[in-house]
Chain A
């Protein structure tokens, strides 16, 4: 208890970077590229599910527009690296003398931060007027915004329009994906555990009572949307620079639904649940490839059966904690909650 919180955070951050770096340099190159691709998708989906969980799970709002924010981050960052990359990269390596990897990392993260910011601004723009709405009305409004974003991008010729956006630089490998997955998990976990973060839970539990004790519910909801949308934008940026091709068909409302399913299946408000569900639901369709034609039918059937038998989700609203797992002395899934990369 004598450790100052700043030092703890620094140790945590250093440990995370270390684990992710170890994973990306020592383990990832050994994996067959197909499996690695699936693992990369898991990382991106963790970013998406955990950020959506902040909005839907912790704050109790119901957003079905997460794919729209993801699209903004994806297209925004991809436009920067695609158009700006050829100018910025030589400048970074030649004029400043950075090694190629570092220069690419800087470009990628700069672009992703810009994409995340774009998504966050959209989150606020969507949030402020629509958060007067409740429940289903909010859900359908966010769905509408997601679709509008998609149609607007579809009509933007600079980012490929209906042809799709091709030749995006391949910059986001396992290191950046899992570093951002870890950052998302840590930020959301620390946020909801903080004094300010309790406001999110209060709004979820009882909006009127929250208002009565002096919490600005609108502000809390907009904050949740801002942060959730920012990380969705980051997730989009990772996706764009991992897959190197974007089409608006990738960001339909079915995509948003995929993330919602992860949040609900994992347990609303359980971060480790979201991580677990992201892993299960990304792996499942791939594992079911063995039964090829029937796999999507099986996926849907499993989803229905899971909801019928466990409506509260896999984890309910509990968390997997490293310490508790250690106490039980069954560290099998121990790494999942904190450093997703370590588990793979």
Chain B
């Protein structure tokens, strides 16, 4: 029982990271109907810039309490610029071309970031300065169940960001504009919404969330390297589909669900099948509920 609760906690922490990445996928899919394959690489860039900013905070001898927030904000700012640049340079020129060309371009951007990352940062893994940012301690420990301060920070940061996103999307003018673009781009244009700027904004927000995920992962799994974005990126996309792609609450739910399932599967001795289970879950969902947990059915019109 204790192990089970421990696994649940680990799964929640891991799942909230998936959820943060999945949000970027689902938002971009919502406005552009594009699977942004480069999103996993944005997450990687978040972790890598987090690594450099984190080391800088240590060298500059910033107060302990400031180090993690500064690292988070630094990585988020860098990825905001990156997300904006990717959209403007690689996707915007293809807005009117077929969706497939955009998809291939996304794959190209993903490959470019992986390889440029290996060139710039070096292919060997780097060790995230977790001990300087947030020295490990146990917040709650009941019997064998331990909740570390790192897990707590991961979950709290993720929840804060997600609540902020929900409020932004549901309560602000820009958020309403974003929903309008996702519903019908042409109609949004007609009522005077600057569609291009909203699309850029969507990429920026998605990238900021991915950057946060990158730094949070660095805290608990300190090994960061330029190819670390491939699998989590793919899994986060799976999470977005599980929740119902295009649906923000769905992405959160799917991310947490996937994190829980994966951690439980590997926790009970089937770790080599971990990746397969995630995808089996995906296919099961697609067959019986193709629109995901919270997605609305898409009726084909002739």
Residue in contact with B280 in the complex, picked from A62, A139, A148, A301, CB distance below 8 Å: A148
Contact B237 A308 (CB under 8 A): no
Q: How many A-B residue pairs have CB under 8 A?
A: 114
Near A by CB (< 8 A), chain B positions 244-293 give: 245, 272-273, 275-276, 279-280, 282-283, 286-287, 290
Complex CA distance for A164 and B11, rounded to whole angstroms? 31
> How many residues of A are in contact with the other chain, CB < 8 A?
42
Contact B276 A261 (CB under 8 A): no
Q: Give the Cβ gap from B278 to chain A, nearest Cβ, in Å.
A: 8
Complex CA distance for A261 and B100, rounded to whole angstroms? 10
Stretch at the interface among A31-39, A107-115, A130-138: A130-138
A300-B112 contact given A140-B241, A208-B302, A311-B101, CB 8 Å threshold: yes
Chain B residues, CB < 8 A from A152: 276
Residue of B nearest to A135 (CB): B99
Contact A129 B287 (CB under 8 A): yes
Residue of B nearest to A162 (CB): B272
Contact B105 A147 (CB under 8 A): no
Tell whether A297 is near chain B: CB-to-CB under 8 Å.
Answer: yes
Near A by CB (< 8 A), chain B positions 101-122 give: 101, 104-105, 107-109, 111-112, 114-116, 118-119
Residue of A nearest to B35 (CB): A136
Residue in contact with B109 in the complex, picked from A147, A260, A304, CB distance below 8 Å: A304
Complex CA distance for A130 and B290, rounded to whole angstroms? 10
Complex CA distance for A78 and B234, rounded to whole angstroms? 29
A294-B276 contact given A145-B283, A257-B107, A300-B108, CB 8 Å threshold: no
Complex CA distance for A144 and B258, rounded to whole angstroms? 14
Stretch at the interface among B44-52, B89-97, B143-151: B89-97
Chain B residues, CB < 8 A from A155: 272-273
Contact B119 A147 (CB under 8 A): no
Near B by CB (< 8 A), chain A positions 222-278 give: 253-254, 257, 260-261, 264-265, 268
Tell whether B230 is near chain A: CB-to-CB under 8 Å.
Answer: yes
A147-B279 contact given A253-B234, A254-B230, A265-B104, CB 8 Å threshold: yes
Residue in contact with A304 in the complex, picked from B90, B234, B280, CB distance below 8 Å: B90
Chain A residues, CB < 8 A from B104: 260-261, 264-265, 303, 307
Tell whether A293 is near chain B: CB-to-CB under 8 Å.
Answer: yes
Tell whether A141 is near chain B: CB-to-CB under 8 Å.
Answer: yes
Tell whether A89 is near chain B: CB-to-CB under 8 Å.
Answer: no
Interface size range on B against A: 35 or more
Complex CA distance for A141 and B89, rounded to whole angstroms? 30
Residue of B nearest to A294 (CB): B119
Chain A residues, CB < 8 A from B302: 208
Contact B280 A303 (CB under 8 A): no
Tell whether B238 is near chain A: CB-to-CB under 8 Å.
Answer: yes
Q: Give the Cβ gap from A213 to chain B, nearest Cβ, in Å.
A: 14
Q: Give the Cβ gap from A255 to chain B, nearest Cβ, in Å.
A: 12
Residue in contact with A151 in the complex, picked from B111, B245, B275, CB distance below 8 Å: B275
Contact A297 B276 (CB under 8 A): no
Tell whether B98 is near chain A: CB-to-CB under 8 Å.
Answer: yes
Contact A268 B100 (CB under 8 A): yes
Complex CA distance for A62 and B103, rounded to whole angstroms? 11
Contact A308 B115 (CB under 8 A): no
| B contacts with A: majority SS | helix
Near B by CB (< 8 A), chain A positions 97-142 give: 129-130, 132-134, 136-137, 139-141
Q: Give the Cβ gap from A65 to chain B, nearest Cβ, in Å.
A: 10
A304-B105 contact given A133-B290, A137-B290, CB 8 Å threshold: yes
Contact B100 A264 (CB under 8 A): yes
Q: Give the Cβ gap from B265 to chain A, nearest Cβ, in Å.
A: 12
Tell whether A91 is near chain B: CB-to-CB under 8 Å.
Answer: no
Contact B230 A297 (CB under 8 A): no
Q: Give the Cβ gap from B32 to chain A, nearest Cβ, in Å.
A: 12
Tell whether B191 is near chain A: CB-to-CB under 8 Å.
Answer: no
Complex CA distance for A271 and B208, rounded to whole angstroms? 42
Residue in contact with B283 in the complex, picked from A130, A132, A312, CB distance below 8 Å: A130
Write out, one digit per residue, whether chain B residues 216-246 have a CB within 8 A of any chain A CB (1) or not (0). Answer: 0000000000000010001001100100010
Chain A residues, CB < 8 A from B109: 300, 304
Tell whether A191 is near chain B: CB-to-CB under 8 Å.
Answer: no
Chain B residues, CB < 8 A from A151: 272-273, 275-276
Contact A308 B283 (CB under 8 A): no
Tell whether A154 is near chain B: CB-to-CB under 8 Å.
Answer: yes
Residue of B nearest to A310 (CB): B101
Contact A137 B241 (CB under 8 A): yes
Chain B residues, CB < 8 A from A265: 104
Complex CA distance for A311 and B95, rounded to whole angstroms? 11
Complex CA distance for A133 and B295, rounded to whole angstroms? 15
Tell whether B190 is near chain A: CB-to-CB under 8 Å.
Answer: no
Complex CA distance for A264 and B94, rounded to whole angstroms? 15
Chain A residues, CB < 8 A from B115: 296-297, 299-300
Complex CA distance for A129 and B280, rounded to whole angstroms? 13
Complex CA distance for A62 and B98, rounded to whole angstroms? 13
Tell whether B300 is near chain A: CB-to-CB under 8 Å.
Answer: yes
Contact B272 A140 (CB under 8 A): no
Contact A307 B283 (CB under 8 A): no
Write out, one digit per residue, whether chain B residues 168-198 have a CB within 8 A of any chain A CB (1) or not (0). Answer: 0000000000000000000000000000000
Complex CA distance for A147 and B281, rounded to whole angstroms? 12
Chain B residues, CB < 8 A from A312: 97-98, 101
Complex CA distance for A300 and B279, rounded to whole angstroms? 27
A145-B283, A300-B108 given; 6 more Cβ-contact pairs under 8 Å: A147-B234, A148-B279, A148-B280, A151-B275, A254-B230, A307-B108
Q: List 11 A-B contacts (CB under 8 A).
A: A134-B300, A144-B282, A155-B272, A208-B302, A260-B104, A264-B101, A303-B111, A307-B108, A308-B93, A311-B97, A311-B101
Residues of B whose CB lies within 8 Å of any CB of A are: 29, 33, 35, 90, 93-94, 97-98, 100-101, 104-105, 107-109, 111-112, 114-116, 118-119, 230, 234, 237-238, 241, 245, 272-273, 275-276, 279-280, 282-283, 286-287, 290, 300, 302
